[in-house]
A and B are shown apart, each in its own frame.
Chain A
Amino acid sequence: MAGKTMVEKILARGAGREEVSPGELINVKVDLALGNDITAPVAIKEFNRLGVKEVFDPDKIALVPDHFTPNRDLAAAEQAKVLREFSRYHRIKHYYEVGRMGVEHALLPEQGLIWPGQIVIGADSHSCTYGALGAFATGVGSTDLAAAMALGEAWFRVPSTLQFIYRGVLPPWVGGKDLILYTIGQIGVEGARYRAMELCGEAVEALSMDGRLTMTNMAIEAGGKCGYIQPDRVTEEYLDGRVEHPYQPVYSDPEALYEEVYAFDVSNLEPQVAFPHSPANSRPVGEASGIEIDQVVIGSCTNGRLEDLKVAAQILQGHEVHPRVRLIVIPATQLIYRQALEEGLLEIFVKAGAAVSTPTCGPCLGGHMGVLAAGEKALATTNRNFIGRMGHPESKVYLSGPAVAAASAVTGTITHPGEVV
């Protein structure tokens, strides 16, 4: 029997098979299905059209109203209401109301709903985030979610796997976001299309869980079906006291077959900035130096976790946001918000002149809470800088990690954090 990757093993278990191989089409049992206020209303409509009376398991569905909430307008309010009423009717266990809610991909791991070996589908492309915990997790559409809510199953083509090895010790101010932007820059927005991305090597092992979640979050920006990191001590420490469900970590065999192996030495990696209009346009921050910006957003499912806010606060401490810049800080979940409050981070942001918001996806997708006008430029710790992503089609978005974002908010131009601290 040839060696298998972590994903091949998890999918084989989900399909009730001894083993599966890349290219095979399989039906798997889903351990958790996720929807939000944009995708779930479509899924609920399709679920009702299906004519099934009950969901497959109300404990294995998570519905999170995070995109246009707190309701930005009447239409958004109606959509959130669809979610709320469906959740009540079907007694969905993991429904999170505004004020307890968070950006879904920060919230679910934090709440202990994700563990190694799990199969998770989410009607949101960044569902691939959960691979940082050694789960198989992937984004699907609303109709897939509807079928999964009814049957507890989903169909997949078993992906082949690309292995990415990161060697070396990361320099100061360089983190998970820089690693993943650099990677997407190397392989392009379809470099991992349909494939699983196994992320490993000592630079990844040295990352905290927050940094790892940032990396797997953006696997989709390279076209990946999923991104994952095999469970280790950092994973165990993160899960300890958080996950009650028993789990069995799954690892790739040493002789597993990879479609391709990429090895990067990242000892001298500079903080990265992705230029408009593609996450693959990543360059060292030095090449972006001096670009004037109107808005900075620190938050999202990519970089709205506590560690991200700590890095930003460390840089903003004792500084003021540049007069030309609007800095918007959005802790990704209510718990992160509370921790940031208790640790004094929010005070640093507010004193610096930032707008601090309750958790929401908001500006990341040009929904609300920081939409750009024509001609405006933003630097954001979010995940996409496509044309019109944050507002007007003639606005521009640059992507970076929280350190560059915070430093740039102070100077008003894209800046290496070392120049501010």
Chain B
Amino acid sequence: MTITGKVWILQDDVDTDLIIPARYLSSTKPEKLAAHCLEGICPRFPLEVAPGDLIVAGKNFGCGSSREHAPLAIKGAGISCVIARSFARIFYRNAINTGLPILECTAELSQLLTPGEELTVDLEQGLIEDRQGRRYQAMPFPPFMQQIINDGGLIEHVRKRLDLPAR
């Protein structure tokens, strides 16, 4: 799948308290969570984010709490993919398990790109291309994780394993 959208640039160590502050965790609804996503560091984000936009961040994205409300809030905001230099491990598995597309790319994209610029991403190939035609290669997922991604997340993956019909 190829996606094109405008980028929101974030720096290193964006924690899950910033992605969705704990005071809003009484809800599990993505659209409710999205209304407060990243408001602490980027008040414009929940107001101006458009479906299909991408997040480009630095190192250790999603560090801190294990709250799955973080990828849910990002998904609820309509973000099509999060690209980071690296991800904190619980966020990483939560994204894979819940079907939020993520790519790990060692290039310093958060420095190289300008906020709002358009980016095209081939999710299967892990290929990222900016408006000037510069290309960046994301790290491939191990086959085991790629299978969970292909199945549409951990729940569908387990359903398949248990031979339960897809929902």
Contacts and interface: CB of A to CB of B under 8 A. Distances in A.
Interface of A: 25, 38-39, 41-42, 45-46, 49-52, 67-68, 73, 75-76, 78-79, 122-125, 127, 139-144, 146-147, 150-151, 155, 189-190, 193-194, 220, 223, 225, 278, 365-367, 371, 384, 386-389, 391, 393
B23 A147 contact: no
A147 to B, nearest CB: 5
Nearest 6 A/B pairs, CB to CB: A75-B26, A141-B94, A365-B22, A143-B97, A393-B40, A190-B60
A50 B158 contact: yes
Contact of A140 (B22, B66, B72, B164): B66
B154 interface: yes
B116 to A, nearest CB: 23
Given A67-B25, A146-B155, 13 more contacts: A42-B69, A51-B167, A68-B25, A79-B26, A127-B66, A141-B68, A141-B90, A142-B94, A155-B144, A189-B63, A190-B63, A365-B22, A384-B64
Interface string B83-95: 0001011100110
B114 to A, nearest CB: 24
Contacts of B5: none
Interface of B: 13, 15, 17-18, 21-23, 25-28, 39-41, 59-60, 63-69, 72, 86, 88-90, 93-94, 97-98, 142, 144-145, 153-155, 158-159, 162, 164, 167
B162 A52 contact: yes
Contacts of A79: 26
B144 A124 contact: no
Given A75-B27, A79-B26, A190-B59, A39 B67 contact: yes
B66 A123 contact: yes
Given A25-B145, A190-B13, A366-B21, A42 B68 contact: yes
B26 A193 contact: no
Given A41-B28, A51-B159, A124 B66 contact: yes
Contacts of B88: 190, 193, 223
6 contacts: A25-B145, A52-B164, A123-B68, A141-B68, A141-B94, A389-B22
B149 to A, nearest CB: 13
A190 B97 contact: no
A367 B23 contact: yes
Contacts of B15: 384, 386
Contacts of A143: 68, 94, 97-98, 153-155
B23 A371 contact: yes
